[in-house]
Amino acid sequence: MNQYYDYEWMRGYVPSSSKLFQPDIAFRNGNLFSNLYQGYKNYKPATLNISSEKERKMMELSEVCFAAHELNLYLDIHPEDRSMFLLFKDYQKKADQLKREYEEKYGPLCVDSEMNNNYSWNQSWPWEENNV
């Protein structure tokens, strides 16, 4: 289990014997599907060091978005798989929630973010503050 996050919210859709990695492991390995993952020789995926709450939030968002994207690709080929569709919808909802939380605390992630509706460029620049 991931040392940083609790993925309890997705447990109801995929049995523990499933062929899916947890989102954190999938993100590190580059593949959500454990039965399709083949490591390269003796290569071990690097463990990223999280040094702040901001980085932790971004990592969790990245992992959940990666898992949603992988399931989206799977559903292109297997549109009849209802359990994977429900899991995909859960990942989508969780990603939206994490994005909102991140943007409320740290600012917009994308140019089309709702947070960009408030003009704030003229308030301050990061390099004008004394913390640089």
Q: What is the mean pLDDT of residues 52-80?
A: 93
CA 9 distance to own-chain centroid: 14
pLDDT digits (tens, 9 = 90+) for 75-100: 999 899 898 999 999 999 999 999 99
What pLDDT score does 118 carry?
Answer: 60
Helices (H), the chain: 23-29, 53-77, 82-106
3-state secondary structure of 79: coil
Residues with Cβ within 8 Å of residue 70, at least 6 apart in sequence: 26, 31, 32, 33
> Which 8-state DSSP code applies to residue 131?
T
pLDDT, tens digit, for every residue of 110-120?
Answer: 777 766 666 55
Most confident of 25-34, 35-44, 60-69, 115-124: 60-69
